[in-house]
Structure 1
């Protein structure tokens, strides 16, 4: 029985792992694997089995002792929690190198995440088609959001301009923002911002890689 079905009822750290779990569960289903135990799922996801069991316990009684977890059922549960079956229409703010890379990829692993429109303030590309995407003026954001029923925005604007970009996103009515500038921005309480700090992620990767190699050497 699933006792909680909304992300706000689940710890943030757990909620951040749910999309990862869902991705690997779909891979298992495609490989015609019907059930999996936490130990096996841990080996696939590289998440400790104790963490997996604790994460799942926040949602409900998803498995049975000695049997493990039914893959199809977990996919159904996580799809419901993440609302992953409904299309998420995305506005991309900032069409520099990072923005172009994101637009080119356009979430190929998930057909329900779609970058609908891109925006910039560079007069040299506004109103033109660049790498297959028509570039709107950032001043048109509110109108385009309403016209295309956009619910999510991704900002690749540099930190020094990030607050202004986020202000325009908030004014457009979008309440879910993925921000690639690490500096925190001010938003209303009903707006949710997720930060992607590439420098921090790289430093964390290097730290764990170095410590893993040192641990192997010392054994």
Structure 2
């Protein structure tokens, strides 16, 4: 468990799923232990950053030994609550929303898109994979019945805030925002913004300045 007196930086928290996936791969390959240098080389993250990230959670390794892979895997499973399935809903079934439903977080069997919503009559009632697209009129009812914990917004920017308001009022505490809008939400709601334009601009900048 993390130290109770430590405020863990967001950058560290964002790297935890990367650590988990890498350690899980090591475990699947029957690797027993790994050094911070080997972690650094495998993850392309400098070893000082890895050691600093791990330090927020107490002693995860031993000097001269490195890290026990099974211990790290169990730690990250517990910390990231990988033993529980997180149910996700997506709002807005345009091209991007449709692609995400088709993809359906196949990178992890611990997260699953369970519901999809739109207001357009031409898509409501359509089935994508195993999921029927529901009308937003049913949103609150389905969220409560299914225990949805996270919402993905792929709606037009002009209705992003209205959609976010509805999501938070339904009790959802996590939003993955694919719209260009910055959302105002209660302090107990986490929002991660995915701006593809900004990410591409950042990528091109680093390519040209490497």
Sort the TM-score into its range (normalised by shorter chain): over 0.9
Equivalent residue number for residue 167 of structure 1: 165
**Cα-to-partner distance string for 1:11-48 (whole Å, 9 max, x where unaligned):** 11100000011001101111111111111111111111
**Residue 3 of structure 1: how far off its partner (Å):** 4.3
SS at match of 1:193: strand
Following the alignment from structure 2 to structure 1, what is the Cα–Cα distance between the partners of residues 19 and 77? 11
Equivalent residue number for residue 99 of structure 2: 101
SS at match of 1:64: coil
**TM-score, normalised with respect to structure 1:** 0.90
Gaps of 5+ in 1: 213-219
**TM-score, normalised with respect to structure 2:** 0.94
**Cα-to-partner distance string for 1:164-198 (whole Å, 9 max, x where unaligned):** 11111112111111111132111112221111111
Following the alignment from structure 1 to structure 2, what is the Cα–Cα distance between the partners of residues 19 and 184? 24
SS at match of 2:183: coil
Equivalent residue number for residue 215 of structure 1: none
**Residue 131 of structure 1: how far off its partner (Å):** 4.9
Contact 1:142 1:173 in 2 (8 A): no
The reply on whether 1:180 has 2:178 as its aligned counterpart is: yes
Following the alignment from structure 1 to structure 2, what is the Cα–Cα distance between the partners of residues 13 and 182? 21
SS at match of 2:53: helix
SS at match of 2:67: strand
Following the alignment from structure 2 to structure 1, what is the Cα–Cα distance between the partners of residues 97 and 80? 25
Contact 1:84 1:112 in 2 (8 A): yes
Gaps of 5+ in 2: none
The reply on whether 1:80 has 2:78 as its aligned counterpart is: yes
Following the alignment from structure 1 to structure 2, what is the Cα–Cα distance between the partners of residues 200 and 154? 18
**Residue 128 of structure 1: how far off its partner (Å):** 2.5
Equivalent residue number for residue 119 of structure 2: 121
Structure 1 residues 132 and 80: alpha-carbon distance in aligned structure 2, compared to 1, 3 A threshold? closer
SS at match of 2:192: strand
Contact 2:88 2:114 in 1 (8 A): yes
**Residue 4 of structure 1: how far off its partner (Å):** 3.1
Following the alignment from structure 1 to structure 2, what is the Cα–Cα distance between the partners of residues 101 and 158? 16
Following the alignment from structure 2 to structure 1, what is the Cα–Cα distance between the partners of residues 142 and 2? 38
**Cα-to-partner distance string for 1:123-157 (whole Å, 9 max, x where unaligned):** 11112224542000112110000111111111111
